[in-house]
């Protein structure tokens, strides 16, 4: 869980590819993953995106969809290589485009059995 919270990737000792999430085999070279943990910068670019509207949200996001309406979701390619699916915040759907620079932020994702699931969302990167 701390790896997911803090965006810690696994750098393959064979080929150097950064894996996130951690699997049994390296996503790039396919060898059994022996790795070093690396803290990811949280910066990346939008690889592709979509908008989730009424009726389209999975059950855990249904309340969110009702409360705030349609919300954007993107596949983000992180600077270190791995791709991840996450919600986009602090922006309107019209602002999104492939290649937009983004930065990670720590937010509530959904609730489940009374527990709060925290994790990563992205927002457009600050210029600094």
Partner 1 sequence: MQAGIVGCGVYIPRLRIKREEYQRVWGYSSRWVEEKSVADFDEDSITMGVEAASNALRNAKVDVSEIDAVYFASTSPPYAEKQNASTIAAALGCRSATATADITSSTKSGASALLSCLDFVGSGRGRAGLAVAADCPLSAPTGALEHQLGAAGAAMIVGAERVGGLVEGSYSIVSESLGERFRRDGQSSVTSVDLGPYYERALEGVVTSCVIGMMEKSHRSPKDYDWLVLQGLDDGKALELSKKLGFEEGKMARGMICAKIGDVGAASPLLGLSKVLESALPKEVGILCSYGAGGGADALSLAVEGEMKPANGYGYEDYLARKEYIDYTTYLKVRKTLGGS
Residues at the interface with partner 1 (CB under 8 A):
1-2, 5-6, 8, 39, 63-64, 66-68, 89-90, 105-109, 111, 116, 118, 121, 126-128
Number of helices (H), then strands (E), in the chain: 2, 8
- Which of 48/106 has CB closer to partner 1? 106
Q: Toward partner 1, which CB reaches closer, 24 or 55?
A: 55
Task: For the CB of residue 48, give the shortest distance to partner 1 in the complex, in Å.
Answer: 22
Residue 59 CB, nearest distance to partner 1 (Å)? 11
Where does 62-127 show beta strands of DSSP type E? 71-78, 83-87, 101-112, 115-124
Phi then psi for residue 107, to 5 deg, are -140, 170
95 three-state secondary structure: helix
Structure token digits, residue 20: 């996130």
Least Å distance between CB 31 and partner 1? 27
């Amino acid at each position: 869980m701390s790896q997911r919270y803090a965006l810690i990737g696994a750098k393959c000792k064979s080929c150097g590819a950064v894996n996130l999430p951690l699997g049994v085999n390296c996503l790039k070279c396919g060898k059994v993953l022996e790795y070093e943990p690396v803290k990811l910068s949280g910066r990346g670019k939008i690889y592709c995106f979509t908008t989730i509207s009424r009726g389209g949200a999975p059950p855990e996001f249904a309340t969110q969809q009702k409360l705030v309406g349609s919300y954007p979701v993107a596949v983000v390619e992180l600077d270190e290589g791995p791709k991840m699916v996450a919600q986009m915040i602090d922006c309107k759907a019209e602002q999104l485009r492939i290649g937009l620079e983004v930065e990670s932020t720590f937010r509530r994702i959904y609730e489940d059995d009374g527990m709060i699931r925290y994790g990563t969302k992205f927002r457009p990167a600050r210029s600094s």
